Structure formats: structure tokens, C-alpha cells
């Protein structure tokens, strides 16, 4: 199986190659233009990018949109995580801004949505969430983005984890495992939507580490959760 990943971001390519081991994940071809993320949610942005990749290549594609939310900032920056410090923001300037505005020990949440768009137009969404807290200081040389300040219950930040440990708990790891499970399933129930597009209708995926019996947290963070919890689902 081959999938086009709608990015040329080296960090995301390496992570998804690991997470989708056995699937040939190829970067967006050089001739394909990157697409502006104009959505107001992670799902909208992921779909925008995956649809554009399919249009450019004629092949099945995946795209992810992800970001961090801080309870102290009413769950911002969210979809603006990559541009938190402005249009020319870098990982370093974004991180500095978050450190300046979010007190240590307050709640953080990583969210990732992966969109799968098939060449025939079928669309499916897979969501992963990881809860954490703001570290007292940046620590660790691994990972990227906000990982140096995203602390887990054992005190380590995402940037201090080995790849395998990070993949087991990260928001992108959770979403990718939901995608992989769906791709591996021989029994995906499909239904035709009124607009003529076909969507995959699938049940919520409950992973081993998600909360026992709780509802999925909504995008605004209304459901209190413990640091270190991870949650995954396939979005109907």
C-alpha cells in the first residue's frame, strides 16, 4: 500500500514512516504546491491538504493537522500553533511565546487529526489527543515544536522521550494507530451521503490507554482529564 503524505516536512515524514511501518508513505511531490490552511479546525485543515494532494497526484493521500492548546489560554493556540508567534514564526519563537504566557504546571493538550482521502473521493478522519502539563523549563533535545515544554506524569517532556516511547503516547501516534487499524480492517461499513460523496462510517476506536468509559473530550477542553492520558478515535 502506498500513500502520499501531503507535506514535505521532514519531522512529520520521519514520524509517520515509523508509525505506519509497512506502508509506503511518500512525500508530496515537488511539482505539487502546498496548500494554505484556511480551516478553523484541525479536521478542516487536514482535509484541505489531503484533498489537494489527491488532486495533484491522483493517488490516495493522507494529511495531518495538529497543535497544542493551553488551558490558561482558553485552549489556544490550537489550529494556529504553527503561526502562534506570527506569520514568520519558527519553532523557537513559538516556544518562547508559549513559555512567556503559560504558567508551569497548567494543563496542556496536544491534538492531531489525520485525514485519509482516497483517489475516488472517500474521506475518513482519525483523531488523537494527549494530555500533559506545562514544564517548569524547556528540556530535551528530541522531538520538535512544543515538545520541550510538554510534560508527562513522570516529569519527562516529550522532547526527552526515545522515539518508541513518544510514539506510544503522542497525539500523532494515537491518530496514526487509529488510521492503521482502519486500513487493516476488512470490514469497513460505507454509506453514501446525500451530497453523493461516500464516507467511511466507523465506530469510535478505544485504545488501551484512553480513559475508561469516558466520553471523548470536545475541542474546547470542557472535559477535565489527567496529564498523560491519550485518546484516539475514528471520526464518523
| Dist CA 126 CA 136 (whole Å) | 32
DSSP structure string for 23-35: SEEEEPPTTSPP-
Cα radius of gyration rounded to whole Å, the chain: 17
What does the angle CA 164 – CA 109 – CA 38 come to, to the nearest 5 degrees?
105
| The residue count for the chain | 236
Element containing residue 16 per DSSP (H, E) = helix 10-19
| Dist CA 53 CA 62 (whole Å) | 8
For the question of residue 91 being annotated catalytic, the response is: no
Catalytic residue among 21, 24, 64, 65: 65
The residues carrying an active-site annotation are 65
Amino acid at each position: 500500500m502506498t500513500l502520499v503524505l501531503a507535506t514535505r516536512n521532514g519531522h512529520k515524514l520521519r514520524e509517520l514512516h515509523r508509525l505506519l511501518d509497512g506502508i509506503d508513505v511518500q512525500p508530496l511531490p515537488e511539482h505539487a504546491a502546498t496548500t494554505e490552511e484556511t480551516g478553523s479546525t484541525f479536521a478542516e485543515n487536514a482535509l484541505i491538504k489531503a484533498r489537494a494532494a489527491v488532486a495533484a497526484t491522483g493517488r490516495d493521500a493522507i494529511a495531518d493537522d495538529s497543535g497544542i492548546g493551553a488551558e490558561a489560554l482558553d485552549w489556544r493556540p490550537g489550529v494556529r500553533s504553527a503561526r502562534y508567534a506570527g506569520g514568520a514564526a519558527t519553532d523557537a519563537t513559538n516556544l518562547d511565546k508559549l513559555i512567556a504566557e503559560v504558567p508551569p504546571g497548567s494543563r496542556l493538550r496536544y491534538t492531531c487529526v489525520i485525514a485519509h482521502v482516497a483517489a475516488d473521493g472517500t474521506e475518513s478522519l482519525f483523531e488523537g489527543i494527549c494530555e500533559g502539563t506545562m514544564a517548569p523549563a524547556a528540556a530535551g533535545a528530541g522531538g520538535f515544536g512544543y515538545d520541550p515544554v510538554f510534560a508527562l506524569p513522570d516529569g519527562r517532556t516529550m522532547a526527552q522521550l526515545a522515539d518508541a516511547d513518544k510514539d506510544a503516547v503522542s497525539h500523532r501516534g494515537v491518530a496514526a494507530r487509529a488510521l492503521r487499524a482502519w486500513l487493516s480492517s476488512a470490514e469497513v461499513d460505507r454509506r453514501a451521503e446525500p451530497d453523493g460523496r461516500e464516507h467511511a462510517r466507523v465506530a469510535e476506536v478505544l485504545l488501551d490507554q484512553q480513559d475508561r468509559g469516558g466520553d471523548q473530550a470536545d475541542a474546547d477542553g470542557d472535559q477535565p482529564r489527567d496529564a498523560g492520558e491519550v485518546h484516539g478515535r475514528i471520526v464518523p
